[in-house]
């Protein structure tokens, strides 16, 4: 399993997801509070953000524990965007530990992280190829194939999750994706939480587990699809 989080709203730094909160991704890498499978996320980490000078997101991925990267704190303090995605990885048994198997996966303007596991055979029929042999890379490839075919981001996630979950009833398919102006996420086998804008927050946070103990975090029901955009946040059943 893994932990992931995303932000959509007023520009903020990656450090606001990773280092600054008491229970940000750095701490979740070695002491997650709500993770149902596994106790540590030391098999890599990655993050992505959008810059107005680029058509595609910027990504930074490593296959080492997040706490071993001495360059990351400085990078996270200056990498700023209105749309951010970050993840720490606990590799599925038998899957490679390499940067190509580490979220966020990307295709054009889209990024995706997978928190869970699924039989590769349940998603391979949905995509022609993937960046890595790992299950998460095939899930991402399946979503991206549908997005390129014109499906809205939320529909692409929902189609892949329901198909793969039907093929593999033991699959866990919490997906988190973004395109620079919106976020879509699924809850299928693990936890997901939202924190909406208020006096201290000009946007929406989506995270496997709360980044802090402030009030306002909401647990998303199992087997749900989350859609977030500047127009608001909508949660619907899968």
Domain boundaries, given as residue ranges, for the chain = 2-237
Instruction: Give the pLDDT confidence score for residue 200 in this predicted structure.
Output: 58
Rounded CA separation 104/113 (Å): 5
Do residues 44 and 63 lie in contact, with contact meaning Cβ atoms separated by under 8 Å?
yes
Residues of the chain with pLDDT under 70: 198-200
Coil, strand or helix at 168: coil
Q: Of the candidates 156, 144, 71, 136, which has an alpha carbon nearest to the alpha carbon of residue 108? A: 144
Instruction: Give the pLDDT confidence score for residue 9 in this predicted structure.
Output: 96
Catalytic residues: 2
Phi-psi region of 203 (alpha: psi -120 to 50; beta: other; left: phi over 0): left
Query: What is the share, in percent, of the chain residues with pLDDT greater than 90?
Result: 90
Q: What is the reported pTM?
A: 0.96
In tens, the pLDDT along 71-128 reads 999 999 999 999 999 999 999 888 889 999 999 999 999 999 999 999 999 999 999 9
- Tell me the fold of 2-237: 3.60.20
Instruction: Give the pLDDT confidence score for residue 93 in this predicted structure.
Output: 84
Instruction: Give the pLDDT confidence score for residue 41 in this predicted structure.
Output: 95
């Amino acid at each position: 399993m893994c932990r992931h989080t995303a932000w959509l709203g007023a520009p903020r730094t990656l450090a606001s997801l990773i280092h600054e909160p008491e229970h940000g991704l750095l701490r979740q890498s070695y002491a997650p509070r709500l993770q149902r499978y596994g106790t540590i996320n030391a098999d890599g980490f990655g993050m992505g953000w959008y810059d107005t000078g680029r058509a595609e997101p910027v990504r930074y991925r490593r296959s080492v524990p997040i706490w071993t990267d001495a360059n990351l704190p400085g990078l996270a303090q200056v990498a700023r965007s209105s749309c951010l995605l970050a993840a720490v990885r606990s590799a599925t048994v038998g899957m490679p530990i390499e940067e190509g198997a580490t979220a966020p996966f990307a295709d054009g303007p889209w990024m995706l992280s997978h928190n869970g596991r699924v039989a590769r055979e349940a998603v391979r029929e949905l995509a022609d190829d993937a960046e890595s042999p790992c299950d998460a890379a095939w899930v991402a490839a399946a979503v991206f194939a549908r997005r390129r075919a014109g499906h809205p981001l939320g529909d692409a996630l929902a189609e892949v999750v329901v198909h793969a979950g039907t093929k593999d009833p033991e699959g866990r398919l919490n997906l988190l994706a973004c395109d620079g102006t919106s976020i879509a996420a699924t809850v299928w086998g693990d936890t997901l939480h939202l924190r909406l804008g208020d006096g201290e927050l000009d946007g929406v946070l989506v995270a496997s587990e709360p980044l802090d103990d402030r009030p306002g975090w909401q647990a998303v029901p199992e087997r749900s699809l989350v859609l977030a955009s500047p127009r608001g946040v909508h949660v619907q059943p899968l």
